[in-house]
Structure 1
Amino acid sequence: MGIGLIVGVWVARYLGPEQFGAFNFAIAFVALFGAFVSLGLDSIVVRDIVREPEKKHEILSSAFVLKLCGGCIAFIMAWASIFVIRPADSQAHWLVGIIASGMIFQSLDTIDLWFQSQVQSKYTVLAKNGAFVVLACVKVILILNKAPLTTFAWAALAEIILAGVGLLLFYLKQQTFRMLWHPSLDRSIRLFNSGWPLILSGMLIMIYMKIDQIMLGSMMGDKAVGVYSAATKVSEVWYFIPTVISVSIYPTLIESYHKSEELFYHKLKMIMGYLFWGSLLLGMIITRFSREIVALMYGASYAEASSVLSIHIYSGVVVSMGIVFSQKYILDNTTRVSMIGTALGAIANVLLNLWLIDKYGINGAAISTLVSYIVPTVSLGLLVDKRILTTHIESIYYVLNKENYAKFN
């Protein structure tokens, strides 16, 4: 994380807001089509390999072919769409074309699913972290040699390819090359039928997460995207903390879920409460020193990013609570409810951006993102299950009550 942040900041300073914005616009634009690469297959493939280990080659090869086809389709859709969105912007055409081609090579991530099924994710970590470190060094070399913007797009593509090759080499140390040679039409159809609803979910999530940058680029230009992206990279770097906590406490939540409802909600509200106050405290500190942080990290050309950072940092409060609460959807087997919330949030994000970017510029995009992150919890709490909303609200003061610490001890 530290290396990524340092190199990312260096790249931003080198490129400047205009070019950095063009680069991030292309990344965000391509991300909208990423759901066609995964096809919602990841958890399904892992499940099927565990259930039918004797069919592992058929499952993996069928998934690989589907992902390869999906990657090709996603590449064509992304590249064709940018010509429609920005017909006269040749730089955007090149950037999107280069970055989007990485989706074809992401089909090699199918190998990661094998490692997951064998509880050997360390090989994925080694392959991807190795590629990341190598390309971080390459980016430094590019900066020192004053390389043009498109070379950084090629570096992003190279990282995907190198990670895929690393996965393949680790796989071949344990298995033969048979994974790619046993696709089954029947298996492919079954996998696709199981995964296609998650394609919509993936698209909604990407719209939810990336539409602010795309709308900023369309309404205010690449420089605005560059300034905005600089701020969000600082505020979003902390999101790994609630993610790690969520993964680590999931077994405990499962255990308490099956013991009693009261115990489950006690633990859920305690964890969410800690994350709320921790994220809020972090937000207040970042807000207080936002100008100094932006000046130190990015320089004077990104000065406007300080106000964006002061707003966007509080998205982490909502995100951290949401990441933990999402475990309840999984345990209740109500992930479709979560998808409805995501859809409502994505719609709110688009509508708010249309209104607030025009009124407040880049700060409007930050406000839109913050408010849209709150929309799923409030709307689902009012329309579907009031406990979704009340659990979030109660967790804020639940953790402050000393009597609650004595419960279940």
Structure 2
Amino acid sequence: VVKVLKHPADTTQALEIIALSLFPFALSSAAESTFQAMERMDFIALAQIGAKGIQVLGSILALMAGKGIIALSWMIVISQSFAALIEISIVKWLGLWRDFKVNWGAAISLFSHSFDFFILSIFVIIFSKLDVLILSQMAGEKAVGLYNAAYLIIQVINFLSASYSNAAYPVLSRLFNEARSYFETMLRKSLLFGIVITTLIALLLEVAAEPIINLLYKDKGYIASALLLRIEAPFIIIFIWNAILASGLMVSNLQRRSVIVSGIKLGVGLIYYVFLTTWLGVVGTAIATVLAGFTGTVLNLYFINKEVCSLNLTALAVKPLAVGLILMGVFWLSRKIILPWLILEILLCYITLLIVLRIFTKEDFRLIWQTIWPL
């Protein structure tokens, strides 16, 4: 497939290297399925946090050393192999596969129902690589380096969001079958918790984008990445909502809707990336990432509202985002203040507004904590 695509030599080599990560990924997937069945998502978080840390640290060092897409591809293979090693070690330590037997009847039955998940995985994987592939083709490796320098920071935060969504998944699945009203409450509170936390993080990224880039890369050549980081900061809000809403569809046995959403997101994402990258270069790629994610989230929200439960957008999204916009105004008016004091000011204002407007209460936090902590 890589040869048929006829990409430039460096892109082709990068894809061939990334393909090596499929084997450890398969091992990780098998182990993670076992952990999900046990509702022990903390094992997955342990392995993935370590793996993502290795990938991010290795990628930053590679970029600082002037390396390109080939080195970044090897970081993906190394991190995925590390995750597989940790997860298989945990499986062996717990003796989970000691009496492993293949039930061919059950396997065939599961395979017959797996087509939607197979297509969904293909769409998700292609979309996750679409930005870099198009950017490398249209703007070259230098632009890819600037884009990755900012997006790696976004990926770290999104990984934590994905970990939360994965931890909530088995709980939501059980509640959907055993206590539907509690499931709906948990889904709403998860969305509210997600937007409250990620809005604050997005604000801090907007405020401290340049110091973060300078601290991590120590090279004036990456100063343009600060602008990209500011553009992509809202994506972390979009990402956690997309992840939680997708989990809501999956546990409701509406995986076909997830396939539709992922397919549409991939199609419009391709249009966004090609058009905006052609028009604005690497800045356009960053904008396209946000727009594509937003499109997927809107579609997931539509299907959840239509077929699962009604969500009050005013309470769940409008109020927290309004607080965020107010604080962006505070940041603009106070931008000459020394950075640490500015961050402290934003934190205090944000917490105060959450309390005064009763956007997220102690009871809400206690519900989320009690549901996720046992995992």
Q: TM (normalized to structure 2)?
A: 0.67
Give distance in 1, aligned partners of 2:97 and 2:187. Answer: 45
- Residue of structure 2 in register with 1:314 after alignment: 234
Q: Of residues 301, 306, 329 in structure 1, which corresponds to 2:221? A: 301
1:362-406 per-position Cα deviation (integer Å, ceiling 9, x unaligned): 111111111111213434666885588954454125776549969
| 2:117 counterpart of 1:195 | no
Give distance in 2, aligned partners of 1:153 and 1:308. Answer: 21
For the Cα contact (< 8 Å) 2:17–2:74, is it kept in 1? yes
Shifted more, 309-318 versus 204-213: the winner is: 204-213
Q: Which one-letter code corresponds to 2:265 in the other structure?
A: G
Give distance in 1, aligned partners of 2:196 and 2:43. Answer: 36
Give distance in 2, aligned partners of 1:380 and 1:147. Answer: 38
Percent identical across equivalent pairs? 16
For the Cα contact (< 8 Å) 2:192–2:360, is it kept in 1? no
Give distance in 1, aligned partners of 2:74 and 2:360. Answer: 54
Give distance in 1, aligned partners of 2:57 and 2:96. Answer: 31
For the Cα contact (< 8 Å) 1:253–1:267, is it kept in 2? no
Q: Structure 1 residues 306 and 273, CA, compared in 2 at 3 Å: closer, same or farther?
A: same
For the Cα contact (< 8 Å) 1:212–1:369, is it kept in 2? yes
Q: Structure 1 residues 252 and 124, CA, compared in 2 at 3 Å: closer, same or farther?
A: closer
| 2:155 counterpart of 1:236 | yes
Deviation at 1:220, TM superposition (A): 0.7
Give distance in 2, aligned partners of 1:296 and 1:146. Answer: 17
- Residue of structure 2 in register with 1:348 after alignment: 268
Equivalences for residues 224-373 of structure 1 within 5 A: 224-247=143-166, 251=171, 255=175, 259=179, 261=181, 265-298=184-217, 299-373=219-293
Q: Helix, strand or coil for the counterpart of 1:85?
A: coil
Q: Which one-letter code corresponds to 2:207 in the other structure?
A: R
Q: Structure 1 residues 310 and 194, CA, compared in 2 at 3 Å: closer, same or farther?
A: same
1:74-123 per-position Cα deviation (integer Å, ceiling 9, x unaligned): xxx34x346x122xx2x444443333233245444465258535677787
Give distance in 2, aligned partners of 1:382 and 1:145. Answer: 45
1:112-148 per-position Cα deviation (integer Å, ceiling 9, x unaligned): 2585356777877777788888999999999999999
Q: Structure 1 residues 226 and 119, CA, compared in 2 at 3 Å: closer, same or farther?
A: same
For the Cα contact (< 8 Å) 1:131–1:163, is it kept in 2? yes
Q: Which one-letter code corresponds to 2:289 in the other structure?
A: T
Deviation at 1:201, TM superposition (A): 0.3
For the Cα contact (< 8 Å) 2:24–2:81, is it kept in 1? yes
For the Cα contact (< 8 Å) 1:109–1:167, is it kept in 2? yes
For the Cα contact (< 8 Å) 2:120–2:259, is it kept in 1? yes
Give distance in 1, aligned partners of 2:234 and 2:57. Answer: 32
Q: Helix, strand or coil for the counterpart of 2:20?
A: helix
| 2:7 counterpart of 1:85 | yes
Q: Cα RMSD between the aligned structures?
A: 4.6
| 2:317 counterpart of 1:396 | yes
For the Cα contact (< 8 Å) 1:273–1:397, is it kept in 2? no
Q: Structure 1 residues 398 and 406, CA, compared in 2 at 3 Å: closer, same or farther?
A: farther
For the Cα contact (< 8 Å) 2:146–2:225, is it kept in 1? yes
Q: Structure 1 residues 349 and 389, CA, compared in 2 at 3 Å: closer, same or farther?
A: farther
Give distance in 1, aligned partners of 2:216 and 2:197. Answer: 23
Q: Structure 1 residues 231 and 194, CA, compared in 2 at 3 Å: closer, same or farther?
A: same
Q: Which one-letter code corresponds to 2:271 in the other structure?
A: L
1:190-217 per-position Cα deviation (integer Å, ceiling 9, x unaligned): 5543323312101111233221111111
Corresponding residue pairs, total: 325
- Residue of structure 1 in register with 2:331 after alignment: none
1:160-180 per-position Cα deviation (integer Å, ceiling 9, x unaligned): 55665666666667489996x
For the Cα contact (< 8 Å) 2:269–2:288, is it kept in 1? yes
- Residue of structure 1 in register with 2:325 after alignment: none
1:287-319 per-position Cα deviation (integer Å, ceiling 9, x unaligned): 122122212211212111111100111011111
- Residue of structure 2 in register with 1:103 after alignment: 22
Give distance in 2, aligned partners of 1:353 and 1:208. Answer: 11
Give distance in 2, aligned partners of 1:152 and 1:378. Answer: 31
Shifted more, 206-215 versus 164-173: the winner is: 164-173
Give distance in 1, aligned partners of 2:178 and 2:90. Answer: 38
Give distance in 2, aligned partners of 1:304 and 1:112. Answer: 40
Q: TM (normalized to structure 1)?
A: 0.62
For the Cα contact (< 8 Å) 2:165–2:243, is it kept in 1? yes
